[in-house]
Amino acid sequence: MQSASGVVVVLGSGGTIAGTAASAQEHLAYRSAQLGVAALVAAVPALHGLPLEAEQVAQVDSKDMSHAVWQALAQRVALHLARPEVQGVVVTHGTDTLEETAYFLHRVLAPAKPLVLTAAMRPATALGADGPQNLLDAVTVARSAGARGVLAVMAGDVFQAADLRKAHTYRTDAFEAGEAGRLGRIEAGALRCFRPWPAGEGLGMACIAPPPDSWPRVEIVLNHEGADGRVVDALLGQGLDGLVLAGTGNGTLSMALAAAALRAQAGGVHVLRASRCAWGTVLGEEQALPGAGALSPVQARVEVLLQCLVQRTSGVAARAG
């Protein structure tokens, strides 16, 4: 599957893949985002001699992911993918918000070249560190003929951004794609694809050009026993641009939470109704509060954030995708 000799750019953003601990047995008390991306690449002998470039864009534990890092990542990815000699880009990232970053980059860029995110569940110092193999597999995907779109590679599995979910707190195969299924597998160093590469158009870089500290505020509120909607009213009091409801079952809401969400929507807040279930699509049209389809609540939050930004920057509403 590997094609010629295009350059692959590896962008570092931190995460456990760049983490270090005091001992090789330590899987919990480690510090994320310690090693530079050049060191991660250097630690994989199979990558030596390949036409790779490494660049550090950020160095964060992805639980602390921010608009500023997302903007910088998107800018660097767009710049490198526009270079004719670049075949693809790999981003090393933390696992905690990989699902959100992947969806953000998918919706903004939807590139015609491969943009492959990878991560690790064990720090680089662990006896069973999974980062080096994941990085090698990500480069393999980025160098595969015909590869395109935003992808994630973890534990030999290849996922499309929109299907990606972090599903486990500890296992090295922590990600799943549910009913949609994996896009492919890396087996003995080669990619086996089960589905076509993702296509589609991104929203473009213009909508994320505003300073990150001016981006809209979008919050997620969960439906649960006793949900009375007062948290929505409190948020409205602080200034809110967007609201994702992580509903029960098929995106259902308590009467009080639904009423509060309708008040928010009437006040100009952009509302999307997702489900707190791990899998499935929010089906049917509930009159006033639009459903988020198959997006997880955190992906729906990215969608609302981007739609608010598109409205701000062009006045035109974007379609989810």
| Residues binding ligand ASP (CB under 6 A) | 14-16, 32, 61-63, 94-96, 119, 121
Q: Beta strands 86-92 and 114-118: pairing type?
A: parallel
Give 131 or 291: the residue with its C-beta nearer to ligand ASP: 131
Query: Residue 102 Cβ, how far from ligand ASP at the closest point, in Å?
Result: 13
CB of 195 to ligand ASP, least distance (A): 26
Which CB, 173 or 228, lies closer to ligand ASP? Answer: 173
**Closer residue to ligand ASP, CB minimum distance, 134 or 140:** 134
CA pair distance 126, 50, nearest whole angstrom: 26
Do 192 and 184 meet the contact criterion of CB atoms below 8 Å apart?
yes
Q: Which is nearer to ligand ASP, 271 or 298 (CB)?
A: 298
Which single residue brings its beta carbon nearest to ligand ASP?
94
User: Locate tokens 């100009």: which residue?
Assistant: 268
Please, what is the minimum distance in Å from the beta carbon of residue 270 to ligand ASP? 27
CB atoms within 10 A of CB 163: 23
Tokens of 116: 């492959």
Is 16 known to be catalytic? yes
Closest CB 15 distance from ligand ASP, rounded Å: 4
The residues annotated with a catalytic role in the active site are 16
